[in-house]
Amino acid sequence: MNVNRVTQSMLGDRSMANLQSGLKRLADLQEHLSTGRVLNRPSDNPADAGSAMRLRSSLRAEQQHARNADDGLGWLNTIDSSLQTAGDSVRRARELALQGANAAGGPQAREALATEVDQIRAGLLSTANTTYLGRPVFGGTTMGNVAFTDNAGVVTFTGDSNPVNRTVADGVVVNVAQEGTAAFGTDADNVFAHLSALSAALRAGDTAGISTGIDALAADEKQVVVARADIGARTVRVEQATTRAGDSELSLTNALAEIENADLPRTVVDLKMQEVAYQASLAATARVLQPSLVDFLR
């Protein structure tokens, strides 16, 4: 029967190693509790640290998508509101033209109708130059501050047809602007020219011109409706992207918390257990380090 020799030194070394190991676990638990995190540095868990970095990268991307979508909704809502106002104005101008076509009133009545048409035209020009964050929403990427310019009674488009794109998800880019000519018509054949011609026809009592104006404004109103429907469809896409970005952000945040954050109730329990274990280890080590035989022989 073999009997391994156990020396006092071996007992002391093993006890001290166990004591240090327990102290290390106690220090780790105290750090988790004080910081609320189990992953305080990459060396704590390299695999989880890598996962956390990838999750943070994805989280930042989703947050940027959400910001882009919010900005896009600002553009689209502004355009939608402007088109609604424009549609109402064109509809009112057409109603005035219909009144003028009845020829029930005299020159004074037609003058009053023409004056209101002029005011509608001025208001419509202001609507067509609506801005969002200082940029004309119907002017594309123009560096100017207006999309349409009135030169001596002739309104021309001074913007461009470039899209204002916003990336609202991976691989999803939405143009959040509306080209002015698609909503208000091209130069020399736009709603402003039609209103000017209608105003002149009303003052002159030109029934043929008034009839032409009625038809032109009907087409202008339809054009505004089509443009507004397009904006509505794009708004739905951006709103859906906003919802998806929010859901993804929540999911990624939860996944990151699972990796990095400490389970505080469990950590408190573990800390108490480790404190008890460490106290027991101290007591055991104190017994191991009792005076040896040499101490008794002195």
Q: 4-18, 20-34, 80-94, 156-170: which range is least confident on average?
A: 4-18
Give 40 or 103, the one with higher predicted confidence.
40
Does the pTM surpass 0.85? The reply is no
Alpha-carbon distances of 58 from 52, 66, 241, rounded to whole Å: 10, 12, 15
Measuring CA to CA, how many Å separate 244 from each of 86, 221, 251?
33, 35, 10
The answer, yes or no, to whether residue 68 has pLDDT greater than 80, is: yes
> Contact 187/128 with Cβ under 8 angstroms?
no
Nearest to 275 by CA among 8, 12, 34, 27: 27
C-alpha to C-alpha distance for 19 and 279, rounded to whole angstroms: 10
Give the CA angle between residues 227, 159, 209 to the nearest 5°. Answer: 60
Angle value at C-alpha 292, between 291 and 297, nearest 5 degrees: 100
Is the predicted pLDDT of residue 288 greater than 90, yes or no? no
User: Distance between terminal CA atoms of the chain?
Assistant: 34
The mean pLDDT of the chain is: 91
Q: What is the pLDDT of residues 260-282, one digit of tens each?
A: 999 999 999 999 999 999 898 88
Beta-ladder partners of 5: none
pLDDT at position 289, please?
66
Residue 293 has pLDDT above 60, yes or no: no
pLDDT of the residue at 1: 58
Contact 162, 141 (CB under 8 A): yes
Closest to 131 measured CA to CA, from 146, 150, 148? 146
For the stretch 175-213, pLDDT in tens is 999 999 999 999 889 999 999 999 999 999 899 999 999
pLDDT exceeds cutoff 70 at 103 = no
Contacts with 132 (C-beta within 8 Å, 6 or more apart), sequence order: 74, 75, 78
Determine the 3-state secondary structure of 167 from DSSP: strand
Quick: pLDDT tens for 239-259.
Answer: 999 999 999 999 999 999 999
Neighbours of 72 (CB within 10 A): 26
The more confidently predicted of residues 288 and 156 is 156
290: pLDDT confidence band, cut at 50, 70 and 90?
Answer: low
What domains appear along the chain, each with residue ranges and CATH number? Answer: 80-134+141-255 (1.20.1330.10)
Q: How many Å apart are CA 23 and CA 15, to the nearest integer?
A: 12
Residue 74 has pLDDT above 90, yes or no: yes
* Gap between the Cα atoms of 9 and 285, Å rounded: 12
For residue 287, pLDDT beyond 80: no
pLDDT score, position 66: 94
Token pair recorded at residue 102: 């009845």
pLDDT score recorded for residue 10: 80
Contact 209, 114 (CB under 8 A): no
> 284: pLDDT confidence band, cut at 50, 70 and 90?
confident
Task: State whether residue 198 is helix, strand or coil.
Answer: helix
Which pLDDT does position 160 carry in this prediction? 93
